[in-house]
Structure 1
Amino acid sequence: MSAKNGFICTCCGEHHAEVPLNFSSPAPAYWLPEMGGDAKSVLTADQCVIQGESFFVQGLIEIPVIGTDDVFSWGVWVSLSRPNFDRASELWETAGRESEPPYFGWLSTELFLYSPSTINLKTRLHTRPVGTRPFIELEPTDHPLAVEQRTGITRERVQQIAEAVLHPKS
């Protein structure tokens, strides 16, 4: 499969020129728009602090696409303890940060396509070279998302995900 193959969408009947291989959440599930005015809360593309008490980093859950060289990824948020968040922040622009041991965290993004909820799945956040989003490793459970990360997904599943995200049901 190539992302450039495109597909005929079963939701809208249109031809989409590319199969999206990444979807990202703009903020952790706990972020509310009014928090933008709170001096103790901050949201950037990579990190989030809520009321000076909850700490999050955005990373990627990567899922191999079976029979291809492609990787589908979910851009998600993981909560970290304050010490781990402080350490990750301290090394954010430091070459070699990828040699850090992984940080334990809780998945803090609701991916509506999965049941049960993806909120609070156990994770390990692996830093990568500067400029590359961290890799999120899910605890190897029987949760459907964790199973997909371990075993991969088909091109058809990628299309199902794309259709559901591009055309959410009201």
Structure 2
Amino acid sequence: MNYTAEAPAVWDPAFADADDCLLSSDQCVIRAQHYFVKGLIEIPVIGSGEVFSWAVWVSLSRENFSRAADLWDTAGREAEKPYFGWLTTDLAAYSPTILHLRTRVHTRPVGERPFVELEPTDHPLAVEQRTGITRDRVREIAEAVLHPSHDRKQA
């Protein structure tokens, strides 16, 4: 019920040894110019009381990333206003691509990944976040993740 992207779509393994790059389980910096946090796009599974989630990367401005990093271990950080960001994860289960969808990143209590709210557009992922998905759709997503088509990059 949860799939994760290991790094933003723009991450290159060659960055791993660079002094101005960082990739952790929650934060990423590329060339001290591009800043990302990992959060959850949560989708209710209709009639089940369960939630399906995508762990995705969202780019933030330098200021918002710095603010989020400063508050990373601070109790009460969930009172922070949402940060604007661009989705920087591609998922094979969606067409058109989800890269660069507009988001709002909602900080949660310490120890919880941020909640990623997609702009309410007609993109299939944004619609699913608003309206929920069926168990059959969860199976379709699992199939797309486990057996991605060759023309799309797997997250």
Q: TM-score, normalised to structure 2's length?
A: 0.95
Structure 1: runs of 5 or more not aligned: 1-20
Q: Tell me the equivalent position of 1:114.
A: 94
Structure 1 SS opposite 2:29: strand
**Which of residues 48, 61, 79 is equivalent to 2:59?**
79
* Higher Rg: 1
Matched, 1:131 2:114: no
Paired amino acid for 1:94: T
Deviations 1:101-155 (A, max 9, x none): 0000000000121111101000000000000000000000000000000000000
Q: Tell me the equivalent position of 2:4.
A: 24
Tell me how many residue pairs correspond in the alignment.
150
Q: Tell me the equivalent position of 1:100.
A: 80
- Please give the alpha-carbon distance, in whole angstroms, between the structure 2 residues aligned to 1:52 and 1:155: 41
Contact 2:42 2:52 in 1 (8 A): yes
Q: TM-score, normalised to structure 1's length?
A: 0.87
Paired amino acid for 1:110: D
Q: Tell me the equivalent position of 2:24.
A: 44
Identity rate of aligned residues, in percent? 65
Matched, 1:66 2:49: no
Deviations 1:83-109 (A, max 9, x none): 000000000000000000000000000
Structure 1 consecutive aligned stretches of length 4 or more whose deviation exceeds 6 Å: none
Paired amino acid for 1:128: R
